[in-house]
Chain A
Amino acid sequence: MVKREVVGAHYGLIDWLYQRVTALVMVAYTLVLFGVLVANPGMDYSAWRAVFANVPFKLLTFVFLLAVFLHAWIGVRDIFMDYLKPVSLRLTAEILAALALVFYTGWAIHILWGIK
């Protein structure tokens, strides 16, 4: 049985963990992308396109972007909780941020799987 209390503790622990795991995913992807750029200096369009047309790299890029969006969600939510005290204002800001990130997720899919 799920027993949640308004004043209960530890609900933030999973967010804390997501924040750290997504950070490590971003560090790993940053290093991989850096390696790709160093190994292929001066890429033209077709070479650059080929990097992202490669399915494993495309999926890796998608996982990176999802990590960015989830990390950003937890981060901006923390900022809103710190500075936006009226509940109506905070809820509005959180809904707008969440909608933006869902929009970005769709956009990322459109970009990555639209590569011709």
Chain B
Amino acid sequence: MSALDPSVTRPRPKHLNLVKIKQPLPAIVSILHRASGAAMFLFGIPLLLVLTNASLASPETYASLKEILGSPLVKLILLGFGWAYLHHFCAGIRFLLLDLHWGVGLQAARQSSRAVLIVSLALTVILGVRLW
């Protein structure tokens, strides 16, 4: 009924330009959750299996893996996937809590989004320090 009421109709954007509109923090966390998930499906899972295989197959493959992991470029790539996993992990826990109706208010949702970004980045930094 209210949708037909001229007093509440106001001009609405006909096209949502993703570049022009300002993304709220929860939207950024959400799209990063999807992007990190897609990256882990495409590259992360096969990489995880290759690494697990090399680390367990024989002492020789273990030694050559250790040598390859010494390269800074490889460390940087691994750190990238480390961030993807940690962000997906933290954002996922946030979504689980939202499912339980925890922190669904606007202010709480913004704060938890910020916490997800900060905690996952902080854990990635710790991982980076351990890798180097």
**Which B residues between 16 and 64 are near A, CB-CB below 8 angstroms?**
34, 37-38, 40-41, 45-46, 49, 52-53, 55-59, 62-63
Chain A residues bordering chain B, tally (CB within 8 A): 26
The one of B45, B53, B62, B99 that contacts A45, using a Cβ cutoff of 8 Å: B62
CA distance A90 to B132 in the complex (A): 42
B57 in contact with A114 (CB, 8 Å): yes
Are B89 and A79 interface neighbours, CB within 8 A? no
Spell out B's residues near A (CB within 8 Å).
34, 37-38, 40-41, 45-46, 49, 52-53, 55-59, 62-63, 89, 92-93, 96, 99
Q: What does DSSP make chain A's interface, helix, strand, loop or mixed?
A: helix
A20 and B62 contact, CB distance less than 8 A? no
A79 proximity list for chain B (CB < 8 A) = 34, 37-38
Which residue among B45, B46, B89, B93 has the maximum number of chain A CB atoms within 10 Å of its CB?
A: B45
Q: Determine whether the beta carbon of A111 is less than 8 Å from that of B89.
A: no
Cβ contact within 8 Å between B45 and A27: no
Q: Which residues of A contact B (CB under 8 A)?
A: 20, 23-24, 26-27, 30, 45-46, 48-49, 52, 68-69, 72, 75-76, 79, 97, 104, 107-108, 111-112, 114-116
